[in-house]
Structure 1
């Protein structure tokens, strides 16, 4: 999808969710630690967002990050790669949101990490959900609570989102991972992929 169209679609959905919850721009902006002007620019599709910004806004609204990209009138049909909602993280990773239905019991993300990139500056937690990680390509280090795991293409692990965790790309090229979170979480303590 064209980045400008995606910004407009995201902004419209964000405004819709905010109004459904009866919240003003000022209240959501304050909760998300940003200015009302910046939030207004995002809602009007005039400004893009990073993963970290989406996470803060979702937390301020009390919704999952994926729900801000969900289609309100969803019908079963393929999601083409070119039509995926995509947001960049400030730490050198890009996240494709694969879940499109609002209010589902799980969220799915494909995250691509540049060489040496991590999904956070330090291990983070978000809610108390189940999380599944599958390495699609490359080699990743997972810090999970007090343990370290090296995961290669095809390896997977299940974890609780209430345990501090983060991943780092150890591969000299781009690595990719599939994340599934159930149930979806809103906001997080720290940063990282948008679960």
Structure 2
């Protein structure tokens, strides 16, 4: 149980209101957000309504889904930075899905510190994975991929594509899609999504 002083202090940040506004602006439902964070829609709803204050690890999981930094929830909108540099050593590496051993790719957010951005940019490294094991996903918007190294398999709907170094592709990310590395060589790509 929080003391009234702590309760009042946390309410001033309006974390729940900021989360709800961000989620609605990005057109993400509570169920989808829950699927991406591993948190229940009921818990997320309580956070949005100010009935529960998230722990920092929980808030970070949410922030990563929306590609914002923790500061998004703690700074005044008028004081947010318009220019943001993410140094190589500042990037954090995450698996495609939390809490699983069978990972098809890892990603690093390249625009982590920027807020109110119009796109999301990632550096992705792909693991060798049988095409049958690829877990398709989909999200609102479009996606652009530029292969930096190696050979990448990409399934969009029922269509399979093979991309090699310096190939690029643009597609509707509302379609189910998934990726896998082909061969033993390192495979990395720049992935940009626009909601």
TM range (shorter): 0.5 to 0.7
**Alpha-carbon distance between aligned partners in 2 of 1:179 and 1:64, rounded to the nearest angstrom:** 15
Q: Which structure 2 segments of 5+ residues have no match? A: 1-12, 22-29
Q: 1:69 to 1:146 in 2, by over 3 A?
A: farther
In structure 2, how many angstroms separate the alpha carbons of the residues matched to 1:78 and 1:68? 12
Instruction: Say if 1:21 and 1:156 are closer, same or farther in 2 by CA, change over 3 A.
Output: closer
For residues 138-176 of structure 1, the C-alpha deviation after alignment (integer angstroms, 9 at most, x for no partner) is: 111111122111001111100001111111111313311
8 Å CA contact 1:70–1:102 kept in 2: the answer is: no
- In the other structure, the counterpart of 2:186 is 174
What CA distance in whole angstroms lies between the structure 2 residues aligned with 1:79 and 1:176?
18
User: Deviation at 1:182?
Assistant: 1.3
Q: TM-score, normalised on structure 1?
A: 0.60
What pairs with 1:1-195 in structure 2 (closer than 5 Å)? 17-18=15-16, 20-21=18-19, 32=34, 34=39, 43-45=55-57, 54=61, 57=62, 65-67=66-68, 73-89=80-96, 90=100, 91-99=103-111, 100-116=113-129, 121-127=134-140, 129-183=141-195
C-alpha distance in structure 2 between counterparts of 1:16 and 1:98, whole Å: 27
User: Partners of 1:132 and 1:160 in 2: how far apart?
Assistant: 9
Instruction: Tell me if the contact between 2:129 and 2:181 (Cα under 8 Å) persists in the aligned partners.
Output: yes
Counterparts in 2 of 1:92 and 1:182: CA distance versus 1, 3 Å: closer
For the aligned residue pairs, the C-alpha RMSD in angstroms reads: 3.8
Instruction: Judging by fraction of residues, say which structure has more helix.
Output: 2
Partner of 1:4: none
CA distance in 1, matches of 2:160, 2:178: 10
For these two proteins, the number of residue pairs brought into alignment is 150
Unpaired segments ≥5 residues, structure 1: 1-14, 184-195
CA contact (8 A) 1:70 1:101 kept: no
Question: What is the CA distance between 1:19 and its match in structure 2?
Answer: 5.0
Residues in 2 aligned to 1:121 and 1:138: alpha-carbon distance in whole angstroms = 18
